[in-house]
Amino acid sequence: MLVHQILKSKGSEGVFTVKPGTLVSEAVKLLAEKRIGTVIVSQDGETPNGILSERD
């Protein structure tokens, strides 16, 4: 399977972000609610500062 095929199957909700300083428990809640494995850490919602995954 190609990357564009995987992304196409993911839907149109986009990329989820959390701000630096967000509690891990809040990020975990977002991961569970959205059924996703990763969120981007970003101060402004545009520029990535880091990444948090379910495996962290």
10-46 confidence digits (pLDDT tens): 666 788 999 999 999 999 999 999 989 999 999 998 8
Give pLDDT, residue 31.
Answer: 95
Give pLDDT, residue 4.
Answer: 76
Separation CA 10–CA 48 (nearest Å): 20
Give pLDDT, residue 11.
Answer: 62
Q: Is the pLDDT of residue 49 over 80?
A: yes
Give pLDDT, residue 15.
Answer: 86
Amino acid symbol at 38: T
Q: Which CATH number fits domain 12-53: 3.40.190.10, 3.10.580.10, 3.30.428.10, 3.30.980.20?
A: 3.10.580.10
